[in-house]
Chains A and B, each alone.
Chain A
Amino acid sequence: MSFGSAYFTLPKFKYIKPRSVDELLNYLSEYGSNAKIMSGGVGVIAFMKERLISPDYIISLSDIPELKKVKNDGETFEIGANVHLSELEYELVRKTVPTLFKAVKNIADPTIRNMGTLVGDLAEAIPWADAYPALLSLDASLEVMKKGSSKKVPVNGFVEGLGQINLKEDEFISKIIIPVRKMRGTYLKFANSSEYGLATVALTYLYEEERFNLVLGSITEKPIVINNADVNWDFKSDLSKNIEKLNAYIDSNVNPVDDLLSSSKFRKNIIKYLTLRAIKEVFSYERN
C-alpha cells in the first residue's frame, strides 16, 4: 500500500530505450536482475519515489511498435504490453470483453489511464488493483517472453501476493490474450474514503457454454475465483435458489481481511451486495 513519499528525486538509474522486442530481450537477459520495465511509469516512478524499488536500469517500451497493438481476430483478443488503458476505452472492447472494459473504466482517472497500461496494473500486484480480477474472470493468458523463447501461461496464478508475481528476472509479459467467446460481463467496484476499492466483483458469463466465473477482488491478498460448478449453479432452476447457494458458499468460504480500507465484516457485506448487483446486471440482459 502506498504511504506517500518524502522524496522529490528518483534513485539514480540508467534509461534504456530498445527499438525491438529482440533488443529488449537482450537487455533483459543482461540486466534483468537490476532492471524494471516501464511504459507510462505510473507504478514504476511512484514506487521509485517511495524508495520501494531502486533498479539500476529502466527499460522503456515506448519505442517498440509491436507492443502497442490491440488485436482481435475473432478467436483471441490481444493487448500489447504498451497499450495504454485509455486505448481500451472504446466500443469494440465493450462488446468483445465487457468485463475488461468496465474494469478499465474503474482504474484511477482519465489522465492516469492515458499513461498506465493493463500489463502494468497487473504486474504491480496490488491486491486492490482492477486488472487481475477482470482477467481472471475472462480466462486470460499471458505471453511471457525471454531471450530465445516465448510461452503462453494462464493469468491464474500470476499474482502470488502483494508485490509478488510469477515472472523471472529475464522474462517479460509481451501481451495479454483473452479467448473471444459469446459473453456478458460486468465489473463493480466499491470504494470508501480511498481511490482503491475495498471490494470488487468481476463477473463473466459465457451463456452459450452455460458457465461463469465470478471473481471477488480487493478483499483478500489474492482474488477469489468462484465458478458455477463451485456453487452447483443450476442454469435450469430459479435464480433465487442459485443465489441462496452462492450466498451460502460466500458465507462459509470467503474471509475478507481487515486493513486500512475496511473491516472484514463490512467487506463481507459489500462483497455480497456487489455480487448480487453483478448477477442482476449480467443475468438480466436479453440474449442477442
Chain B
Amino acid sequence: MTSNSILGEKIPQVDSWLKVTGTLRYNFDISLPDMLFAKLVTSKYAHAKIKSIDFEDALKVPGVVAVATGKDFPYRLGIYVSDRDVLAIDKVRWVGHPVAAVIATDIGAAEEAVEKVVVDYEPLEPVLDIEKALENDSPLVHEHLGEYSSFPGFKPIPGTNIANEFKLIKGNVDEGLQQSSLIIEDTFKMPQISHATMEVQNTIGYWRPDGTVEVWSSVQSPYATRFLLSKSLGMPLNKIVVHAPPIGGGFGLKAGLGWEALVALLSRKAGNKPVKLTLSRAEQMIAAPSRDLFLAKVKAGFSKEGKFLAYKAEFFMDAGAYADYTVNVSRTSGYSAEGAYEIENVNVRSLAVYTNKIPTTAMRGFGHPENHWPLEQILDRAAHELKMDPVSIRRINLLKPGKSFRATGERVREDEGDPEGVLKTAAELIQIEKVEESSAPWLVRGKGLSMLVKAPSQPSNAAASAIVKLNEDGTIDVITGTGSMGQGTPTGLAMIAAKEFGVPLENVKVVQTEGVDTDRNAYTWQTVGSRGLFSDGIALLRAVDDAKDQIRTMASVVFKVPKDDLEISDGYVFSKSHPWVKKELKEFANGYTFDDGTCIGGPVIGRGSYAPVLNTFLDENGHGSNTVFHTFGATAVEAEINLITGEIKIIKAVQVFDIGKIINLMGLIAQADGGFIMGLGSALFEEIKFDDSGWVLNPNLTHYYIPRITDINFEIKEKFLETPQKDGPFGARGIGEHVMIGVAPAIANAVYNATGVKINELPMNAENIWRQIMSQKPELFYKAFQNFEGSLKEVTAK
C-alpha cells in the first residue's frame, strides 16, 4: 500500500512539468479578442492638489480610445480601511500615485499618449517621515479619514495621520519594569521593501454589455478580490467573476484587491471592451504597494535570573499613502509582539501611520519579521548583560504548551508544538556553543539564533471549503479555492486525497493548479497567512469523508453488508469482516450499475466545509482568542564578518520548525530554503530608497538588490519536528511565512555575538555594518586593518 505512506515523501510539485516546459498559462499569457491596453499617468509629486488635467492631445494619438481620470470613478477601495481611490481625485498622495489612465488599441499608442497628458499640480507640503507625521501640526495625508468605512476592530483617527491604533495590555508593565534588575531600551528600524515577485502585477478587466464584470488577474485570493470588488463597486457578488491563473509569486502583494476595480471601470469607459493593464518593474516599484517601514521603541525588563518580566513597546508602521492592508499588519505585529515567550507584563501600542510614500500592504510574515526584529535581539543583549547564553535565556521564558496563556489571554494548546525542542534542535545543529576560527585575522565568526512563532492573521470566520469528485475511471478531482503561486498547497492537497482514497498521486487532479475562478472553485477566504494547507486541508478531509460515505451507502446495498463494515483504501471499497468482498471505486463513480442494467445512487461529489472554531474578535485591551494554529520555529546562522568592509558572509544556516506533520517533504525543504533566501535579501540588501521629495531612487533590480544564486554559497540545514495538532489535517500546521521571520534577527545576533556591535537597522549591508563598527567599536576596524596590512608584509615583490 505505497499510496498510504505517501505523506512525508519528497514529491515534486504537481505543476513542475508545466512550469519547466513553459506551458503553464499565467495571466500574462492571456489575451482576449478586441482587448485594449491601459497605461497609467502617475504623479510627479509626493503631495499636491490636482488643479487640472488636460488630455486633449492624448486623445488625438492614433489608437487611443479614452482617457480616464479620478473624477470618472468616485469609488473607494480597501480591505480593512477603504482609504484608496481608483485614480487620484483632487489630490495626489505619493510620487507614483496613478492620476489618469490611457486606454488604447495597442500598448505603444497608450505609452505615447501618456506623455501627452498634462497635469497641473499645486504642490503641498509632503509628509515623508513617520515621526513627523505624528506631530500635531503635520499636514494630513487623508483629510476625510473619518468618512472611510472600516472593518470591525479598526479605528482610523480623524484629524490625524493615524490609520489604526492597537493596544495589547497584560499585567502592569510599569510595575514590571520597576521590579526588573536589567532594562534594555532601544529603537529599531526596518525600511520599506519590495515583494519583488518575478511576475509583475497584471490584470484584465471586462465590463460586459450585460452589466456583469469579469476579471483575470495576478491575484492570490480570488474570492477576497471578488468580495472587495463587489463592495467597492456596489455590485452583487454573482455579477462578478474573478479568474486567478497561477501567479509568479505573491508574497502578500497580490492578496486583497489590486488593480481589478480600475481595469473593470476602464473597460466600461472604453465601451465594454476588455482592458489589460500590465505594470513594468519600475511602475511596480513606484505605483504599487510595498512592505511597510517599521519603527519600534522598546523597553524590556528582566530579573537577574533572566526572567522576562516586562515588555513595553511602541510600534510605528509607515503605511505610506494607503494603509488598506497595513492596518492589520500593524495590529498583528501588536498582538503577537511577545513572540514565543511568556512575559508577565506587556504593554504594546501599535500604530499604522500615513505618509506621502508608496502605499503598503501585506507581505510574507505579516508583522512578524517586524516584531521579531527587536524582540529576538533584546534576548541576546539581555543574555550578554546577565552572563547567560542565548539558549538558556530563551528556554526559561518560552511559552509552555498546555500551561501558558498569551498576552491576548489565549490558551497555548497542549498540542501546539514543542518550542523547547525546536530551540534545542536549532542550537545543536548550529553548535551554538562552539567558537569557530575565522579564515583571516581581519574576519570574525559569530553565531546567532532567533526563535519565531506565527499564526495566520485572519478574521474569526475565515472559512474554507472543498469538493471532491470521483470520475468514471477512478481518478479524482479536487476543487478548493486556494490560489497557486508556487507555495505548494495544490501538491499537498493532491497527496492528502491520494492517501485517503489509496490511489496513486497521478490519479488525483487538483483543479486550481492551473487557476482558480470564483464561478467554478470552492470558496476559501484567502490564500494568505500560511493557512492554505491547514484550512483547505481540513475541508478536503471532510469532503473526502462525504464522498466515501456516498460510496459506502451504495456499496452497502451492492454487497449486502452493513455500511459501517465497509472501508475504502487502495482504490477499493471492501468489507472489513469479509475482505474478499470488494469492488473498485470507479464502479461507483456515477452511481452503481447492476448486471441487469438497473442502477442506484449517482455521481459521487463530496463536499467539506471548515470555519475556525471558538475564534473571537480582540477587545480594546487586545484580549481574545483569534488564532487557529501557531507554528514554532527557530532560525540560526553562522556568519563571518569582515571588520574592514562590514561584509557579512553566511557560513551555515539552520531552519527548524515544528510543523505537526510533514505532508510533502520536498515542498517543505523548498519553503525552508527559499524563505531563508528571501529573508537574507531583506536582512542584508533590500531597501526602497527615497530622495527628499519622495521619489524612489532604485525602482529596478539593479539597485534594489535581491539575492542571486551566487549569494547562496552556504549550506542550509532543515529539520522538522512533528508534534501533531489534533484538529490539523493529519496534525499539520502551516509553514509558508515562518521560514523568513527569524533570518534578520539571527544574523544580527551573530554579528553582536562576534563583535559586540548592536545592529538596530536593516538592511545589514556592508556600508551600514561598517558604519556601526566605526561608531560603536572603531578599535575593531583599526586592529583589523592593521592585521590586514600585516599580512602584506609576508609578500615580497619579486
Assess the A2–B689 pair: CB atoms within 8 A: no
Assess the A269–B793 pair: CB atoms within 8 A: no
Assess the A239–B763 pair: CB atoms within 8 A: no
Identify B791's interface contact among A4, A269, A280, CB under 8 A. A280
Kindly state the separation between the CA atoms of A262 and B765 in the bound complex, as whole angstroms: 11
* Chain A residues, CB < 8 A from B281: 4-5
Closest to B285 in A: A4
Closest to A286 in B: B798
Q: Is B770 positioned at the interface, with any CB of A under 8 Å from its CB? A: yes
Contact A9:B285 (CB < 8 A) given known A192-B765, A192-B766, A280-B791? no
In the complex, the 6 A-B pairs of residues with the closest C-beta atoms, listed nearest first: A4-B282, A4-B700, A4-B699, A284-B795, A9-B108, A192-B766
Assess the A196–B702 pair: CB atoms within 8 A: yes
* Chain B residues, CB < 8 A from A3: 282, 697-700
List 8 other contacts, CB 8 Å, given A193-B685, A280-B795.
Answer: A2-B700, A6-B42, A8-B278, A8-B280, A269-B770, A273-B644, A273-B785, A285-B798
Kindly state the separation between the CA atoms of A181 and B472 in the bound complex, as whole angstroms: 78
Assess the B282–A276 pair: CB atoms within 8 A: no
Q: Is A151 positioned at the interface, with any CB of B under 8 Å from its CB? A: no
* Chain B residues, CB < 8 A from A9: 107-108, 111
Identify A6's interface contact among B280, B697, B705, B767, CB under 8 A. B280
Closest to A273 in B: B644
Kindly state the separation between the CA atoms of A4 and B285 in the bound complex, as whole angstroms: 9
* Chain A residues, CB < 8 A from B23: none
Dominant secondary structure of chain A at its interface with chain B? loop
Interface residues of A in 231-288 (CB under 8 A from B): 235, 239-240, 242-243, 260-263, 266, 269-270, 273, 276, 279-280, 283-287
Interface residues of B in 740-782 (CB under 8 A from A): 763, 765-767, 770-771
* B positions within 8 Å CB-CB of A: 42, 107-108, 111, 278, 280-283, 285, 644-645, 684-687, 689, 697-700, 702-703, 705, 708, 763, 765-767, 770-771, 785, 788-789, 791-793, 795-798
Assess the B645–A273 pair: CB atoms within 8 A: yes
Assess the B278–A192 pair: CB atoms within 8 A: no
From residue B417, how far is it (CB to closest CB) to chain A in Å? Answer: 36
Identify A276's interface contact among B285, B703, B788, CB under 8 A. B788
From residue A68, how far is it (CB to closest CB) to chain B in Å? Answer: 28
Q: Is A22 positioned at the interface, with any CB of B under 8 Å from its CB? A: no
From residue B61, how far is it (CB to closest CB) to chain A in Å? Answer: 13
Assess the B705–A195 pair: CB atoms within 8 A: yes
Closest to A262 in B: B767
Closest to B39 in A: A6
* Chain A residues, CB < 8 A from B107: 8-9
Assess the A5–B697 pair: CB atoms within 8 A: no
From residue A182, how far is it (CB to closest CB) to chain B in Å? Answer: 13
Assess the B703–A190 pair: CB atoms within 8 A: no
* Chain A residues, CB < 8 A from B796: 239, 283
From residue B99, how far is it (CB to closest CB) to chain A in Å? Answer: 13
* Chain B residues, CB < 8 A from A229: none
Kindly state the separation between the CA atoms of A34 and B798 in the bound complex, as whole angstroms: 53
Assess the B283–A6 pair: CB atoms within 8 A: yes
Q: Is A194 positioned at the interface, with any CB of B under 8 Å from its CB? A: yes
Q: Is A90 positioned at the interface, with any CB of B under 8 Å from its CB? A: no
From residue A72, how far is it (CB to closest CB) to chain B in Å? Answer: 26
Assess the A287–B798 pair: CB atoms within 8 A: yes
* Chain A residues, CB < 8 A from B789: 240, 243, 276
Kindly state the separation between the CA atoms of A191 and B659 in the bound complex, as whole angstroms: 38
Kindly state the separation between the CA atoms of A279 and B797 in the bound complex, as whole angstroms: 9
Assess the B278–A260 pair: CB atoms within 8 A: no
Closest to B765 in A: A193
Closest to A260 in B: B697
* A positions within 8 Å CB-CB of B: 1-9, 109, 190, 192-196, 235, 239-240, 242-243, 260-263, 266, 269-270, 273, 276, 279-280, 283-287
Number of A-B contacts (CB under 8 A): 101
Kindly state the separation between the CA atoms of A260 and B687 in the bound complex, as whole angstroms: 12
Contact A5:B282 (CB < 8 A) given known A235-B797, A276-B789, A279-B792? yes
* Chain A residues, CB < 8 A from B108: 9
Closest to A205 in B: B797
* Chain A residues, CB < 8 A from B686: 193
Pick 27 A–B contacts, CB within 8 A, sort by A: A2-B702, A3-B282, A5-B280, A6-B111, A6-B280, A8-B278, A9-B111, A193-B685, A193-B705, A194-B703, A239-B792, A239-B795, A239-B797, A240-B792, A261-B703, A262-B767, A266-B766, A266-B771, A269-B645, A269-B770, A273-B785, A276-B792, A280-B791, A280-B792, A283-B797, A285-B798, A287-B798
* Chain A residues, CB < 8 A from B282: 3-6
Kindly state the separation between the CA atoms of A6 and B702 in the bound complex, as whole angstroms: 15
From residue A269, how far is it (CB to closest CB) to chain B in Å? Answer: 7
Contact A2:B788 (CB < 8 A) given known A8-B278, A235-B797? no
Closest to B702 in A: A195
Kindly state the separation between the CA atoms of A5 and B699 in the bound complex, as whole angstroms: 9
* Chain B residues, CB < 8 A from A285: 798
Kindly state the separation between the CA atoms of A222 and B702 in the bound complex, as whole angstroms: 21
Assess the A266–B687 pair: CB atoms within 8 A: no
* Chain B residues, CB < 8 A from A283: 795-798
* Chain B residues, CB < 8 A from A240: 789, 792-793
Kindly state the separation between the CA atoms of A3 and B770 in the bound complex, as whole angstroms: 27
From residue B116, how far is it (CB to closest CB) to chain A in Å? Answer: 14
From residue B365, how far is it (CB to closest CB) to chain A in Å? Answer: 21
Closest to B686 in A: A193
Kindly state the separation between the CA atoms of A3 and B645 in the bound complex, as whole angstroms: 27
From residue A185, how far is it (CB to closest CB) to chain B in Å? Answer: 15
* Chain B residues, CB < 8 A from A243: 789, 792
Contact A190:B792 (CB < 8 A) given known A6-B283, A235-B797? no
* Chain A residues, CB < 8 A from B699: 3-4
* Chain A residues, CB < 8 A from B684: 193
* Chain A residues, CB < 8 A from B689: 260
Assess the A192–B767 pair: CB atoms within 8 A: yes
Assess the A193–B792 pair: CB atoms within 8 A: no
Kindly state the separation between the CA atoms of A283 and B798 in the bound complex, as whole angstroms: 7
From residue B149, how far is it (CB to closest CB) to chain A in Å? Answer: 33
Assess the A2–B703 pair: CB atoms within 8 A: yes
* Chain A residues, CB < 8 A from B795: 239, 279-280, 283-284
* Chain A residues, CB < 8 A from B765: 192-193
Kindly state the separation between the CA atoms of A6 and B700 in the bound complex, as whole angstroms: 11
Kindly state the separation between the CA atoms of A21 and B699 in the bound complex, as whole angstroms: 39
* Chain B residues, CB < 8 A from A276: 788-789, 792
Kindly state the separation between the CA atoms of A270 and B788 in the bound complex, as whole angstroms: 13
Identify A260's interface contact among B111, B685, B698, CB under 8 A. B698
Closest to B709 in A: A109
Kindly state the separation between the CA atoms of A1 and B767 in the bound complex, as whole angstroms: 20
Kindly state the separation between the CA atoms of A190 and B646 in the bound complex, as whole angstroms: 12
Assess the B280–A109 pair: CB atoms within 8 A: no
Kindly state the separation between the CA atoms of A285 and B792 in the bound complex, as whole angstroms: 13
Kindly state the separation between the CA atoms of A286 and B797 in the bound complex, as whole angstroms: 9
Closest to B642 in A: A273
Assess the A1–B792 pair: CB atoms within 8 A: no
* Chain A residues, CB < 8 A from B798: 283, 285-287
Closest to A281 in B: B795
* Chain B residues, CB < 8 A from A261: 703
Assess the B644–A4 pair: CB atoms within 8 A: no
Assess the A8–B793 pair: CB atoms within 8 A: no
* Chain A residues, CB < 8 A from B770: 266, 269
* Chain A residues, CB < 8 A from B697: 3, 260
Q: Which of B108, B644, B699, B766 has the most CB of A within 10 A?
A: B766
From residue A188, how far is it (CB to closest CB) to chain B in Å? Answer: 12
From residue B530, how far is it (CB to closest CB) to chain A in Å? Answer: 29
* Chain A residues, CB < 8 A from B708: 109
Identify A193's interface contact among B111, B700, B763, B793, CB under 8 A. B763
Closest to A234 in B: B797
* Chain B residues, CB < 8 A from A279: 792, 795
Kindly state the separation between the CA atoms of A24 and B655 in the bound complex, as whole angstroms: 59
Assess the A7–B111 pair: CB atoms within 8 A: yes
* Chain B residues, CB < 8 A from A280: 791-792, 795
Kindly state the separation between the CA atoms of A191 and B796 in the bound complex, as whole angstroms: 29
